[in-house]
Amino acid sequence: MAKYSILIYGDEAYYASLTPEGTAAVMDAHGAFAKAVGELGGQLLGGEELNSVSTATSVRGGAVTDGPFVETKETLGGFYLVEARDLDHAIEIAKLCPAPTGGVEVRPVVDHS
């Protein structure tokens, strides 16, 4: 089995405006996603929600600046690391990942072993 990252992109303003009930619904959706990964024969290895893009610091060519590289409505808000049989399996898993205001990106993790 190979490792894949599922990068979650969305609109931060949407999440900032959620009611407590809306936040609970989002958390429930991610809990259901975690359960579905196992049911599909994959393994959830980890994942985290990222802090707001306003807290980002970028380093490019040795220069350090506050904020992300580009202005965009969809920002990277979190990720999962999953183990899947192959890319098709990882995509099948990623299709279940909640991203109501954006989408997800699936990327293989480089195996240096």
pLDDT value at residue 9: 92
Kindly report whether the global pTM for this prediction surpasses the value 0.75: yes
Strand ranges, E, within the chain: 2-11, 43-49, 57-60, 63-66, 74-84, 103-108
Give the gyration radius of the chain's Cα atoms. Answer: 15
Residue-range domain boundaries for the chain? 2-108
The three-state secondary structure class of 22 is helix
**2-108 has which fold?**
Alpha-Beta Plaits (3.30.70)
- The type of residue at 47 is G
User: Could you give the maximum distance between any two Cα atoms of the chain, in Å?
Assistant: 45
For the chain, 113 residues long, give each residue's pLDDT as a single digit of tens: 999 999 999 998 898 899 999 999 999 999 999 999 999 999 999 999 999 888 888 887 888 887 766 667 788 999 999 999 999 999 999 999 999 888 999 999 998 88
